[in-house]
Structure 1
Amino acid sequence: MKYLEYKGYTGSIEYSPEDKLMFGKVVGIRGLISYEGETGKQLEEDFKSAIDEYLAICKEEGKTPEKPFKGSFNVRISASLHQKAALKAMEEKTSLNNLVAEAIRSHLSREEEMA
């Protein structure tokens, strides 16, 4: 799946065959920012317009806009996997955070190689 990018925000691209309409929403934030269009060009224009409107409303209301993908997230895993990962990180003289980040990088790298 490809995504739309604008001003640091990422948007999904989906299609509804029933409505013959493309639509999407901004990913990586709690709030809902959605957009739609009959063509790719219209979808992209509505996406950018939705972001601009969101930022304008935040400014008008004196609120800080949500930042997508802040770089931190919670991961829930089994206690035994947590233990194994923590011990592996200690053996490698690194942090658990670095071990997990490297595992994600490695996984994404392999995926890109297969594409």
Structure 2
Amino acid sequence: MTNTMTYKGYSARIEYDDEDGIFTGRLAGISDGIGFHADTVEALREAFHEAVEDYVETCAKVGKEPQKAFSGQVMFRVDPEVHRKAALAAELSGKSLNQWAEEVLGRAAE
């Protein structure tokens, strides 16, 4: 079961709080803390959509560009030995390191 929702390019992680009997969600991938909750799945979906709309509207009112989808450029450092092994694996599979890494990260992210 996937515990995420998506709407207009935004995603949210969903959790269930059994003590309070509610679903809670939080927009993922943005630095502003945007949360929402409801006691049914349908109401949660509506609250999520409302949270996204409110976030975008609030950003427009204050003259801030809302955070959105990622650029697709990932820059990070790895141990040189991991880099060597990844480059070799990519070459042996007939792919560039970027192509290979995208496939591996895509599988890991599923």
Report the AA paired with residue 56 of structure 2.
L
Report the AA paired with residue 37 of structure 1.
A
| Structure 1, gaps ≥5 residues long | 110-115
How far apart in 2 are the matches of 1:18 and 1:64? 37
1:37 aligned onto 2:27: no
1:47 aligned onto 2:48: yes
| Structure 2, gaps ≥5 residues long | none
Report the AA paired with residue 8 of structure 1.
G
Report the AA paired with residue 74 of structure 2.
F
The answer for the alignment partner of 1:63 in structure 2 is: 64
Where do residues 87-98 of structure 1 align in structure 2 (5 Å cutoff)? 87-90=88-91, 94-98=95-99
How far apart in 2 are the matches of 1:51 and 1:105? 25
Where do residues 62-81 of structure 1 align in structure 2 (5 Å cutoff)? 62-81=63-82
Q: Is the 8 A contact 2:13 2:28 kept in 1?
A: yes
How many percent identity over aligned positions?
A: 34
Shift of the 65–108 alpha-carbon distance from structure 1 to 2, 3 Å rule, reads: closer
Aligned-residue Cα RMSD (Å) equals 2.4
The answer for the alignment partner of 1:26 in structure 2 is: 27
How many positions carry a matched residue from both structures? 109
Q: Is the 8 A contact 1:23 1:34 kept in 2?
A: yes
Farther off after superposition, 70-79 or 60-69: 70-79
Report the AA paired with residue 18 of structure 2.
P
How far apart in 2 are the matches of 1:108 and 1:31? 23
1:99 aligned onto 2:66: no
Farther off after superposition, 45-54 or 77-86: 77-86
1:10 aligned onto 2:4: no
Shift of the 106–55 alpha-carbon distance from structure 1 to 2, 3 Å rule, reads: closer
* TM-score (structure 2 length as normaliser): 0.80
